[in-house]
Structure formats: structure tokens, C-alpha cells
Amino acid sequence: MNALKSEWLKLVSVRTTWALLGSMILIEGLTAGLVTDLSKVSDLRHRDIATLAIGTHLAIVFMFTLGALLSTNEFRHGTANSTFVVTPKRERVIAAKLVVGLAVGIVGALLYIAVNAGLGLSILSSRGVPVDSNEAVNTYIGVGVGLVLGCLFGVALGALLRNQILTVVIGMVLFLLAGTAALFIGNSVGKYFPGESLLALNGTPGAAKTLLTQTNGGLVLAAYCVVVGILGTLLTRQREIT
């Protein structure tokens, strides 16, 4: 519990946390508002509930980075020294970071859903575009789970790599570039990348032709978190803090 409280304090005592969450809300609000307001009604009807998942690839940038900072700040700013002197059982520190990552991931996901639903759904409704409520709930659950897992993946990859810039760059490549590039050149392995798993989680109808199913997308993304998290924890235990 001590490590958990300490990690929570580390998260909330720096402005970067609030700046990242605020930026995510702002960008998601702008994206959802502009797309639903400016698109042609025929396009919106055609896109169906995909509109509700619009901006997940922007939101993931912030949520992944937030998770990555939880781990990498320790090494970027040298606080790993005092952290591991006060809590020599290092796996407790990583576990606490993952729990805090889960918590802030849930907060981020709820904020995303609140902004998207508050703005996007009301604009769609005012423009007479019908939205199936069951499908909407399904999409929001998928998007929410994706953002939470994205944040956890940031914590895990940060623990594994330690270097802040490297972690964020690799995360962005994995979420925004690698899978899309692989699919683009016709390699179906691309659908197993974190970015395409996130897209699959949105549950967009018809997307399963090229992507994994919604459930499998979630499982693959969760598997990344588990495997990288275990590797990161083992390495953190073994590593020398110099």
C-alpha cells in the first residue's frame, strides 16, 4: 500500500499529468466535434458508429505517454535511486506503477467517453443521424478498454526500456505506424500490432475483415501488457541502478 500511495502522489504532483489529460480531452473534443459537425450527413450515416471511436489514435498518444512517464520519469530524473532505496523489493514498485497506470487509464477512458458522448452524440442526434445504443455501448467499452491497456502498455514498456524518449518513440511507432505499414504492404501480421489491436477493439462493423475481432484485439493488447510487464519487472529486479 505504501508503494501505491507513493506512486499515486508521484502521478498527481506533477503538472505533466494534468497537461496530458487536458490535451487529450481538448483534442478529442475538437476531433469529435469537428467530424460530427462538418461531415456530410450521408457520410455520417455510412460511417455508422465509427464516428464514436474517432480520435482513439490521438487519445492513445496521450494515454500511452502518461503510462510511459510513470516508469521512465524515475530514470529521467534520477528518482529511481531513492525509490529503490526506500522500497528495495523493486517488483512492488513496478506493481504499484501498473495499478496507478490502470487507475489513470480508467480516468482517461471515462473522460474520452464523456467528451465523445457529450459532444459527438449530441451533434449526431441534432443532425438526425441515428445511433444504435447497443452498438454505441459496445464501441465505448472497446475504446475504453483500449485506452486503459494503452496506458498500462506505456508503464510496462517504460519499465523495460527505462529511456523516456526511446519508450515514447517506440510506443508511437507500434501504435501509429508499424501495423498500418505492414497491412499496407499486404502483410496480415500487421493486425497483431498494438495499433491495429486498438483499432479492432473499437468494434467497428466490417473492420474484422482486415483486423482481429473486438475480443481478440483486446486479448492481443492485454497480452502485450502482460508479457512486456513481466519482462520489465524481471529486468528491473536484476538491473543495477547506476
Partner 1 sequence: MAEITVERLVKRYGETLAVDDLSFTVDAGRVTGFLGPNGSGKSTTMRALLGLVRPTSGSALIMGRPFHELSNPVKSVGAALDAHDVHPGRSGRGHLRTIAAAAGLPSSRVDEVLDMVELTPARDRRVKGYSMGMRQRLALGAALLGDPKILMLDEPANGLDPQGMRWLRDILVALAGEGRAVLISSHVLSEVEQTVDSVVVIGAGRLVMQGPLADLVKGDRRPILVRSPRADELRELLEDDGASVASDGRPDAMVAHGTSLERIGTLAADNGIPIFELTHERATLEDRFLELTGESGNVR
By CB under 8 A, name the binding residues for partner 1: 2-3, 5-6, 9-10, 13-16, 73, 77-79, 81-89, 240-242
Using CA atoms, how far residue 166 sits from 163, 170, 173, 195, in Å, is: 5, 6, 11, 17
Cβ of residue 96: shortest distance to partner 1, in angstroms? 9
Cβ of residue 44: shortest distance to partner 1, in angstroms? 42
Sign of CA dihedral 189, 190, 191, 192: positive
Q: How many CB atoms lie within 10 A of CB 122?
A: 12
Q: Which lies closer to partner 1 via its Cβ, residue 6 or residue 138?
A: 6
Q: Which lies closer to partner 1 via its Cβ, residue 86 or residue 189?
A: 86
| Alpha-carbon gap, residue 86 to 160, rounded angstroms | 21
Q: Which lies closer to partner 1 via its Cβ, residue 19 or residue 177?
A: 19
Cβ of residue 14: shortest distance to partner 1, in angstroms? 4
Cβ of residue 236: shortest distance to partner 1, in angstroms? 12
Q: Which lies closer to partner 1 via its Cβ, residue 134 or residue 242?
A: 242
All cell numbers assigned to 198: 486498438
* Cα–chain center distance at 214: 16
